[in-house]
Structure 1
């Protein structure tokens, strides 16, 4: 049988090519990061950053052995604390700040001391900024003096009268600080804002004498 031959100049129509199949597989939430897209790369960067911070903190502890700063009110002199419609007061404090660290200095860039009777503010004073060296003790001497219009409710007035009879007042002093640490000779940290709270029981001094006794040194609560 003679085989039919096709010439190149003749049209030839073969079987049609089927269209490509489309996948309708549902994407899972983790498929978006399969090729390390923006989400995956961001997570990887954050993990590396967290790891770097942890390593840095660990190195600081290993090299500098930081110890907590200790703050005490070692003396308090209250010579006037009288309330009518305004609160008249005269309070002087000695506050010691102890830096026990051998290789860490502290910059006290801003220091504000505020005094409260209960939760009622009655006076504030700004103190001179300073640098505290290694294993150093610094004494601050804020003085609160003047008069302030203070609104006392019935319960506060009752507390005030009770403490007036006893001759000892509960006075809270807060130190709002802006500080930086100096690690070694050159490295300085960013500025932080710790708050110091000192809950004091201060006897009133009248005619040079304190009827209930002398003030007892008090440790303050620190956050650094």
Structure 2
């Protein structure tokens, strides 16, 4: 059909001049090619700039990303730990602990807006204590002392009561879980992040100190970060 149309010659006296739909003057063809080339170069430039920015952001994040705090139990001493099999069980305790918080970041400081140390025997909490809030410089370590003493009822399951009796009568070594809870923020130069909620578990095994006898040696214990997420 196309070739047939081109073969037909339109008379000069015809009011409408035949225009080939597949024919473009050279000037229009060059203009079209130029526009296409400019758009192609523009798209390539935008992609290259975005890729370059992404590489820079990734490098900055890898270099300046904040690492969680490192927590250690430096020392712990159990001066009293006795339980009465009431309902619920009643416990007398006297526990002294020293913990260290270490900032592993080389350029980022840490705000500790809230800190609390809870003491558990198995899954039952028997006491807690508030710790000081402070700002920690990069590559710095802070030592805090957390002491709890007294007596209280606590909701220990029957299996926990049996475990306590067995440990009291046989090994004399008790498994105590120290939980550190807190809110922390990171600061780099003039930029401060939103709060992150920190939850750290420190499992320690302690024996009751006998009056007049030296306390059992304690090995420095590393704690595990259980939860570490951005607060809403």
Distance 1:154 1:131 in 2: 43
DSSP-derived class of the 2:156 partner:
coil
Residue 77 of structure 1 is matched in structure 2 by: 77
Q: Where do 5+ consecutive residues of structure 2 fail to align?
A: 1-53
Deviations 1:133-188 (A, max 9, x none): 011010111111111102434321210012112121100011111110001x2110
DSSP-derived class of the 1:205 partner:
coil
Q: Could you tell me whether the CA contact under 8 Å between 1:203 and 1:214 is conserved in 2?
A: no
Q: For this pair of structures, how many residues does the alignment match?
A: 170
Summarize the alignment of residues 67-216 of structure 1 with structure 2, pairs less than 5 Å apart: 67-84=67-84, 85=86, 86-165=90-169, 166-183=171-188, 185-209=189-213, 213-216=216-219
DSSP-derived class of the 1:82 partner:
strand
Shift of 1:72: 0.6
Q: Which has the higher helix share?
A: 2
Distance 1:191 1:65 in 2: 15
Q: Could you tell me whether the CA contact under 8 Å between 2:120 and 2:126 is conserved in 1?
A: yes
Q: TM-score, normalised by structure 1?
A: 0.69
Measured on the aligned residues, the alpha-carbon RMSD in Å equals 2.3
Residue 11 of structure 1 is matched in structure 2 by: none
DSSP-derived class of the 2:184 partner:
strand
Q: Which stretch shows the higher mean deviation, 93-102 or 108-117?
A: 93-102
Q: Where do 5+ consecutive residues of structure 1 fail to align?
A: 1-53
- Kindly tell me: are residues 57 and 113 of structure 1, through their superposed partners in 2, closer, same or farther at Cα, counting changes over 3 Å? farther
Residue 61 of structure 1 is matched in structure 2 by: 61
